Amino acid sequence: MKKKLVITIIISSIVCVLSIGLTWYFMDKNTKDQKVDLDKKIEELQQKLNNLTNNSASSEDKQDDTSIIVGFNPNGLFTEEEKKEIKSKITDPYIYYSYNVETDSPRSIVSITVKEYSEDERPAGYYYGIDVVDTEGYRGGWLFGQGGAIDYWKAECMDECLLTQDFIDKYPNNFIEPYKLK
């Protein structure tokens, strides 16, 4: 009887040690596989970011604004005429300014979302809001359309705006006095 008990304890111990060893081995192997997969994903994302950074605008290489996604939310609420007016008065001048005038710290804009607020959620009477996202994670925006009118986007400058003659020629309604030419 004692012999049977000793054999059972020895076999149980061997099974436990094997179970623990095999569990550790497969968990370690799984962790290493996950790390390799994550490293590959990180490399892919870094490569994509480098491509975006290399393609970002500089003073010699202006941004092609067709690569920027401009969305309207809620979908289907904006008429084509409203979209065209918002693009010509607000988003196109903002994109041009960001890449061609504000060259000290140009942003690589990924998307611009235009939102129309319902009557019960309008902040301070503004009908519309803009959200901007760039490749560095910057998220910003502003409100416009107080009273429902779609007005021209204007650069917000602390003192005087430094503008280019190209910007003034292309968007004559989108700047405020005083300004200086770059």
32 and 91 both lie in a single domain:
no
82 and 165 both lie in a single domain:
yes
The last residue of a domain, from among 55, 76, 99 = 55
Q: Which residues contact 112 (CB under 8 A, 6 or more apart)?
A: 68, 69, 70, 71, 91, 94, 95, 130, 131, 132, 133
Decide if 168 is inside a domain: yes
49 and 138 both lie in a single domain:
no
Residues 129 and 97: their CA atoms lie apart, in Å, by 19
51 and 72 both lie in a single domain:
no
**What's the pLDDT score for residue 13?**
92
CB 96 within 8 A of CB 140: no
40 and 101 both lie in a single domain:
no
The last residue of a domain, from among 37, 55, 73 = 55
Q: Which residues contact 76 (CB under 8 A, 6 or more apart)?
A: none
Decide if 60 is inside a domain: no
Decide if 88 is inside a domain: yes
Q: Which residues contact 180 (CB under 8 A, 6 or more apart)?
A: 160, 161, 162, 163
Number of independent structural domains in the chain: 2
173 and 98 both lie in a single domain:
yes
163 and 123 both lie in a single domain:
yes
Looking up tokens 């910057």, which residue turns up? 138
Q: Is the pLDDT reported for residue 11 higher than 90?
A: yes
pLDDT in tens, 76-134: 788 889 889 999 999 999 888 888 777 666 668 888 999 988 888 888 888 889 999 88
Decide if 77 is inside a domain: yes
Decide if 3 is inside a domain: yes
75 and 152 both lie in a single domain:
yes
pTM for this entry = 0.59
Residues 165 and 178: their CA atoms lie apart, in Å, by 14
E-assigned strands of 19-75?
69-73
- Greater confidence (137 vs 23) lies with 23
Decide if 121 is inside a domain: yes
Mean pLDDT of 139-149: 84
Taking 3-state DSSP, the helix, strand and coil percentages for the chain, each rounded to the nearest 5, stand at 50, 20, 30
37 and 96 both lie in a single domain:
no
pLDDT in tens, 25-84: 888 777 777 777 777 777 777 777 776 656 544 434 444 545 788 888 887 788 889 889
**What's the pLDDT score for residue 175?**
74
Domain range for 48: 1-55
Residues 83 and 51: their CA atoms lie apart, in Å, by 30
